[in-house]
Amino acid sequence: MTYFAAGHETVRNQIALSAGVVAFSMMAVNLFLATRPALVEPMVGGLDRVYELHKWIGISVIVLILIHTQLRFVQLEGVVAPGSLAETSVKVAEPAFYAMLILLLVSAVKRLPRLPYEIPYHIWRQSHRLVGVVFLALVFHQYFVKAPFTAADPVGWWLNMMAIIGVGSFLYTQFGAVLRRRAYRVTSVTKHVAATIVEAEPLGRGLSTRPGNFAFLSARRNGLREPHPFTVSGILPDGKIQFSIRGLGDYTRRLRDLLQEGDKLLLEGGYGQFSYLRGGDLQVWVAGGIGVTPFLAMADDLSPNEARQIVMVYCVRNRADAVGIERLEAAAARSANFTLHLFESDTAGRFDAAALLALVPFEMGRADLFFCGPGPMRTGLLDQLKAAGKTPAHVYFERFEFR
């Protein structure tokens, strides 16, 4: 942190010092959130919301670091001994703060201004790891310089506690998270026109997943070792699991080209709170393209005696693009209260609120809307429903943009 000579503390100094204390604390909180804590996820509505919170805390830390570094007035003469660890920690602090600022900016900015391409995912991910390393340098600084407060002071006690939380969380993400991963073997890879359908069986203890969950997947194959989140599209007998993955980026295209039967996967999950069990008696499910994946597992879970009245609208260009359509049709045949509408834009035109309302036999204002698909499609649909005075009682969706 920053320290001031007695008698020279001003409002400016106090603001700078307070900004440093809060920034340090929020860094520790963000490192804790990076562990994907199971207790926090349901409190905020899902892991996607945890990552959203993580992002905005990081942006807040950027602002606080700028305040801290620009307003501070440093006076350490007589406080640290020359050649001591305290002096070394002071020398470490200056570059560490600016390194943290740069890393947080990289983490917060997905696309560079005025440039047509995004920061590659592997660079973004490594920048996240380095945030923890720089935090260790700041902890080193905070621990060895004992002014203007000592460990016995309330603020000193608080910072030491934050340091323990932050360092422990960082070490866990680097070394302890492996305990949560489960080994699987790929049993089949099906290249559907709109998705790569991967089925895998556990090699030992499998994941605990529910319909609507997602998991982080990595494969023991060059180019596929980085973990990426994918929705579980099927919970199969004998602990098997299915993913239906659209080739929307470099990783998913490589997965389609490289992944083979017999390959080993490492999975971590299940995460997420996107579940029809949270909804009421009247539900509308809207899937846009590959956004059908959580609904596949949820439809499989429906029993013939399902009491909820559920209308699902699956939006695709044509039937050939519809992933898992046979499973959805089987669920509709099995459960009298589940109605499926396949909306093919090649023949039906653009899907909008008017088209949705024409397919729903009950009052939308009394229903819960579950949506999975492109963000612009969701916001446009909700805006149109609101303009028509048909805003759903509740809206459930997940953000899979984790950066």
Its pTM stands at: 0.76
Q: What is the mean pLDDT of residues 261-290?
A: 93
Mean pLDDT, residues 371-382: 92
> Which distant-in-sequence residues (6+ apart) come within 8 Å of 326 by Cβ?
none
pLDDT score, position 145: 62
For residue 202, count CB atoms less than 10 angstroms from its CB and return exposed for 0-12, middle for 13-18, buried for 19 or more: middle
The per-residue pLDDT for range 249-258, each reduced to its tens digit, is: 888 999 999 9
Q: How far apart are CA 82 and CA 84, in angstroms?
A: 6
pLDDT at 11: 74
Which residue bears the tokens 């994941």? 207
How many other CB atoms sit within 10 Å of the CB of residue 218?
A: 17
| Three-class secondary structure of residue 180 per DSSP | helix
- Map residue 275 onto helix, strand or coil: coil
Residue 313 has pLDDT above 80, yes or no: yes
pLDDT of 69 > 80? The answer is: no
Residue 146, pLDDT score: 56
Q: What are phi and psi of 214, to 5 degrees?
A: -130, 165
What value does the mean pLDDT of the chain take? Answer: 84
Q: What is the pLDDT of residue 78?
A: 47
pLDDT at position 17 over 60: yes
Per this entry, what is the length of the chain?
A: 403
pLDDT of residue 401: 58
Question: Residue 39: what pLDDT?
Answer: 79
Nearest to 244 by CA among 184, 206, 188: 188
Give me the mean pLDDT over the 368-393 stretch: 94
List, as own/partner pairs, every contact residues 204-208 make where C-beta atoms lie below 8 angstroms and the sequence separation is at least 24, other chains included. 206/182, 206/239, 206/241, 207/182, 207/241, 207/267, 207/268, 207/269, 207/270, 208/270
| Choice between 17 and 271, residue whose per-residue pLDDT is larger | 271
What is the full DSSP assignment across 285-312?
EEEEGGGGHHHHHHHHH--TT--SEEEE
Cα distance between residue 84 and residue 64, in whole Å: 29
Check residue 16 and give its pLDDT: 77
Q: Fill in the DSSP letter of residue 172.
A: I
Query: CB-side exposure of 129: number of CA atoms within 13 Å?
Result: 9
The Cα–Cα gap between 4 and 15 comes to 12
What DSSP character marks residue 391? -
- The pLDDT score that the predictor gives to residue 140 is 77
Q: For 319-361, what is each residue's pLDDT tens digit?
A: 999 999 999 999 999 999 999 999 999 999 999 999 999 999 9
Q: Extract the tokens encoding 390.
A: 């048909």
Q: How many percent of the chain have pLDDT more than 70?
A: 83
Cα 26 from Cα 386, distance rounded (Å)? 37
Residue 2's closest CA among 18, 161, 102?
Answer: 18
170-197 pLDDT tens trace: 888 888 777 789 999 999 999 999 999 9
Region for residue 289 given its phi and psi (left: phi exceeds 0; alpha: psi -120 to 50; beta: otherwise)? left
Which residue type does 261 have? E
Radius of gyration of the chain (CA): 25
pLDDT of residue 81: 45
If one counts every other C-beta atom within 10 angstroms of the C-beta of residue 362, the result is 13
Q: What is the DSSP string of 12-77?
A: HHHHHHHHHHHHHHHHHHHHHHTT--TTHHHHHTSHHHHHHHHHHHHHHHHHHHHHHHHH-----T
189-225 confidence digits (pLDDT tens): 999 999 999 999 999 999 989 999 999 999 999 989 8
pLDDT digits (tens, 9 = 90+) for 388-398: 999 999 999 88
